[in-house]
């Protein structure tokens, strides 16, 4: 079922004069949900290695590419989240407070890769062959969107992560929607479906394992110092960052509905 078919089914379920606008806004807000989590994880993972403004550029490109993977391959992403989530929970329960991200993330990525390869081999009617084009488009859209917080930093100084997510999420999404069809024409079908499935699986599996890690941390008290510092910062900031990204995504959805843009059914 394509995005347009899902939207049509949902709109038929309730009769509202603005149901199309409402549904589009909700879908963009849900994209902001995943964007906010990935943005926060990447920012804290890279802040010790990169200085501003290169940090924003790198994080925006990475988040844009991963968000494009998750949104552009919804069925596979959901499957990977289930299997990688189960694998992550099993490892976290087994390892307890000594659980390491250097083990957990590869575990989630490898589980997702296996699911993605199997999906690519079996789902002949899938659009998984477009994954490489969507990743490239998402990364480029993120790079272009990162110019906005860079300029704002020059004007007003340091930005909060919540405000950066509020700006980057809709900007990346709008740029992506504007250029993705062109990239699909020139960049898709270069890789076989199992390879594209593996790419999506690694991205979605890694994100799934990180989310499970944060949930596990929030329910526990005694962790190693490295895990404690990293997870505590994420637990502290994720509500504001994710909510800001969702708000930005919602506004972007309203904007596209307001200008009469077609559904991005790719």
191-250 pLDDT, tens digit per residue, is: 788 888 899 999 999 989 888 887 877 776 655 555 666 777 787 888 899 999 999 999
- Tell me which residue of 91, 100, 95, 89 sits closest to 211, measured CA to CA: 89
Task: Give the tens place of pLDDT for each residue, 9-34.
Answer: 555 544 555 667 788 888 888 888 88
Task: Give the tens place of pLDDT for each residue, 29-61.
Answer: 888 888 998 999 889 888 888 887 788 899 999
Q: H/E element holding 130?
A: none
Cβ neighbours around 258 below 10 Å, total: 10
DSSP state of 146: T
Task: Give the tens place of pLDDT for each residue, 138-197.
Answer: 999 999 999 999 998 888 878 889 999 999 999 999 999 989 888 888 876 777 888 888
What does the alpha-carbon distance between residue 65 and residue 180 come to, in Å, rounded to a whole number?
12
Residues 6+ apart with CB under 8 A from 3: 27, 74, 263, 264, 265, 266
Q: Would you state the pLDDT for residue 114?
A: 95
Query: Which residue ranges make up each domain of the chain?
Result: 29-258
- Tell me which residue of 69, 45, 73 sits closest to 59, measured CA to CA: 45
**What's the predicted TM-score (pTM) here?**
0.81
Average pLDDT, the chain: 83
Q: Would you state the pLDDT for residue 87?
A: 93
- Tell me which residue of 199, 234, 174 sits closest to 77, measured CA to CA: 199
Q: Would you state the pLDDT for residue 60?
A: 93
Q: Which two tokens stand for residue 174?
A: 């709008």
């Amino acid at each position: 079922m394509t995005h347009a078919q899902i939207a049509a089914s949902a709109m038929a379920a309730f009769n509202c004069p603005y149901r199309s606008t409402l549904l589009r806004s909700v879908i963009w807000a849900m994209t902001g949900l995943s964007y906010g989590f990935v943005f926060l994880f990447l920012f804290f993972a890279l802040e010790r290695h990169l200085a501003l403004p290169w940090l924003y550029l790198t994080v925006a490109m990475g988040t844009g590419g991963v968000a494009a993977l998750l949104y552009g391959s919804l069925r596979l992403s959901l499957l990977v989240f289930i299997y990688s989530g189960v694998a992550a929970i099993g490892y976290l329960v087994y390892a307890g407070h000594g659980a390491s991200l250097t083990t957990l993330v590869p575990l989630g990525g490898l589980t997702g890769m296996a699911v993605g390869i199997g999906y690519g081999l079996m789902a002949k009617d899938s659009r998984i062959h477009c994954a490489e084009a969507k990743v490239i488009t998402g990364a480029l859209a993120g790079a272009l969107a990162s110019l906005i917080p860079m300029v704002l930093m020059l004007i007003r100084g340091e930005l909060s992560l919540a405000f950066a997510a509020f700006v980057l999420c809709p900007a990346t999404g709008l740029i992506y929607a504007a250029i993705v069809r062109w990239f699909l024409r020139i960049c898709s079908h270069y890789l076989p479906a199992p390879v594209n499935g593996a790419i999506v699986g690694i991205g979605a599996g890694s994100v799934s394992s990180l989310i499970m890690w944060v949930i596990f941390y929030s329910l526990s008290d005694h962790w190693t110092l490295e895990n404690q510092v990293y997870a505590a910062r994420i637990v502290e900031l994720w509500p504001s960052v994710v909510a800001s990204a969702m708000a930005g995504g919602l506004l972007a959805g309203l904007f596209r509905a307001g200008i009469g843009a077609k559904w991005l059914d790719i």
